[in-house]
Amino acid sequence: MMIMPSSSSANHDKQHVLVKKINYTTQEIEIHYQIGCPPGQIFYLNLSSSPFEFEDFNYTLFSCPSSVPYISSGTSYDCLTKLSPCLGNINNQTNYYAMLGGYCSISRMPLESCTKVLDYTSVPDLFTIKQANILKLLWFIPDCRRCEDLGKACRFKDEFYSTQKNHTETQCYVLKGPKRPRATLRILGICALSVVAIVTGIVICYVYSSTKTEKESQLRIERFLDDYRALKPSRYSYADIKRMTNKFKDKLGQGDYGTVFKGKLSSELLVAVKILSNSNEKAGEDFINEVGTMGRIHHVNVVRLVGFCADGFIRALVYDFLPNGSLQNFISSSAAAADHMSRNDNSNFLGWDKLQDIALGIAKGIEYLHQGCDQQILQFDIKPHNVLLDQNFTPKVCDFGLAKLCSKDQSAISMTTARGTMGYIAPEVFSGNFGNVSHKSDVYSFGTLLLEIVGGRKNFKVAEDNESSTSQVYFPKWIYKLLEQDQEDLRIHIEDEGDVKIARKLAIVGLWCIQWYPLDRPSMKIVVQMLERQDDKLIMPPNPFASTSN
């Protein structure tokens, strides 16, 4: 900061002073100022070109012959300041100077021997300068003290619009953060909005997905409970059975042990209801067998027992309805017989791929019965009649009236009477001479079924066509010879290149299964593996008819 001594002063140079303190609230600035000697110099400070003023005081300068004692006024200002040792030379006399503040009464000062030299009006606070070398300056324009008190910023009123250059009125305003360019602000706004949108989106997604997951898990539990309930066969009354079969309106078929009717459990669940005939003395036993066995098994290739009825003398079994009926309806057309076999209508022919799938499905179902349950279940009546097909032609093993439960490690079971259907029964089942009755007995029946699929006719029935001598040939024996001679033409109905390969495979597996001695037959597990093989490298089995060959 610079201040200029007055023109009356000898020194016209601008003087640099040090700003010690600025107080914006009181609008005071303190500068470091060394009082000169004689002190009058300060009284001629020219502040006209600056916005500052000093607080004006009035003083009277006295010249005294000797030093005067210092006397306090008792106020915040001192009354008398000695200017000793600043000696001045007035009227050719070397004198001490004393300065008397205008606010003090001269009568109380020890100035009797002194002579008044000069009155100074409107001069700075000499006492402060003298004590601390501080000169206090004030400014009044702009007047921001009110704004400072309010903690606000201050500016000239209508700073931007005023046409008057020297207007002095001020106004307070709230100081905002540093201004940012509009584009930056817009980008920041967009970013902020995006963040808010993303966060909101995440929150909505989270809430939505957690509600959805909750609903899904609830649904899953409901479904599980439904399924769990469905796993156990329900018990129905006769009235229920009548209601579900619409009073036995739609008959599906007649078996040895009863009549089967179509029924409806709900709009979605169709059922087949088998009413066991009372006339058959074995019906009660079959009933217990069937419910006891099927109540505990669940497999895609085993028909599901939905429920049963034991109401008075009425016994009924309720199964899932399988719209494509039994496999028997489809295998008699599988082979368009060669000249020595009777030619059947092949309108029901499913194709070799489908037949292979069906064979594999049945094998898996039987393997499950043998190995997949707590107890081994021997079905003892595997035949095409007892394989039902659903809407996708997935095979389901059914009819467990003859089934027997035994422990898994049991290698043989005792059997008092022969079980099963002639032509499918394993030799050991009807005669104890050929080995023990075991799971291998089901393997034999399955082998017969496989060969029926390939031959398209009942194996055990020698063809009744007497027009040709070859029609008397027993199909398994005949096909064994053909395969042994590695003949390509199996005299089957072929639609595709791979058909012969499939038929060969089914026939070879079938021949393995119908080995006379149970020990020579593969287990159902091996049968499944053989049927799943894609190559045509299956080893030919020994001749199953060696002991019976003529």
Ligand X SMILES: Nc1ncnc2c1ncn2[C@@H]1O[C@H](COP(=O)(O)OP(=O)(O)OP(=O)(O)O)[C@@H](O)[C@H]1O
Annotated binding-site residues for ATP read 274
Q: Cβ closer to ligand X: 259 or 523?
A: 259
272 makes contact with ligand X (CB under 6 A): yes
DSSP string, 325-336: -BTHHHHTTS-B
190 burial level (CB within 10 Å; 0-12, 13-18, 19+): exposed
Question: CB of residue 422 vs ligand X: minimum separation in angstroms?
Answer: 11
Give me the catalytic one of 381, 399, 442, 499: 381
CB neighbours of residue 532 within 10 Å? 12
Of the candidate residues 119, 216, 256, 495, the single one contacting ligand X (CB under 6 A): 256
141/502 Cα distance (integer angstroms): 111
Identify the DSSP state of 375.
S
384/2 Cα distance (integer angstroms): 122
26/109 Cα distance (integer angstroms): 33
Identify the DSSP state of 343.
B
Question: CB of residue 481 vs ligand X: minimum separation in angstroms?
Answer: 32
Of the candidate residues 286, 399, 452, 499, the single one contacting ligand X (CB under 6 A): 399
258 makes contact with ligand X (CB under 6 A): yes
260 makes contact with ligand X (CB under 6 A): yes
C-alpha closest to that of 150 among 172, 128, 131, 132: 172
CB neighbours of residue 306 within 10 Å? 22
Q: Is 381 a catalytic residue?
A: yes
Determine the residue type at 238: Y
Q: Cβ closer to ligand X: 83 or 327?
A: 327
List CB contacts of 279: < 8 A, sequence separation 6 or more.
none
Q: Cβ closer to ligand X: 273 or 337?
A: 273
Collapse the DSSP code of 114 into the 3-class scheme (helix H, G, I; strand E, B; otherwise coil) and give the result. coil
Question: CB of residue 285 vs ligand X: minimum separation in angstroms?
Answer: 14
CB neighbours of residue 302 within 10 Å? 25
509/423 Cα distance (integer angstroms): 18
Of the candidate residues 57, 120, 319, 330, the single one contacting ligand X (CB under 6 A): 319
Q: Cβ closer to ligand X: 260 or 453?
A: 260
> H or E element: which one contains 150?
helix 145-150
Question: CB of residue 402 vs ligand X: minimum separation in angstroms?
Answer: 9
Q: Cβ closer to ligand X: 240 or 499?
A: 240
326 makes contact with ligand X (CB under 6 A): yes
321 makes contact with ligand X (CB under 6 A): yes
Which residue has the closest beta carbon to ligand X? 255
325 makes contact with ligand X (CB under 6 A): yes
Q: What is the dihedral of CA 251, 255, 259, 264, to 10 degrees?
A: -60
Of the candidate residues 257, 424, 475, 516, the single one contacting ligand X (CB under 6 A): 257
314/31 Cα distance (integer angstroms): 122
Of the candidate residues 38, 253, 351, 542, the single one contacting ligand X (CB under 6 A): 253
386 makes contact with ligand X (CB under 6 A): yes
Of the candidate residues 135, 265, 322, 366, the single one contacting ligand X (CB under 6 A): 322
Question: CB of residue 444 vs ligand X: minimum separation in angstroms?
Answer: 18
Contacts with ligand X, residue ranges (CB under 6 A): 252-258, 260, 272, 274, 303, 319, 321-322, 325-326, 385-386, 388, 399
Q: Which residues are catalytic?
A: 381
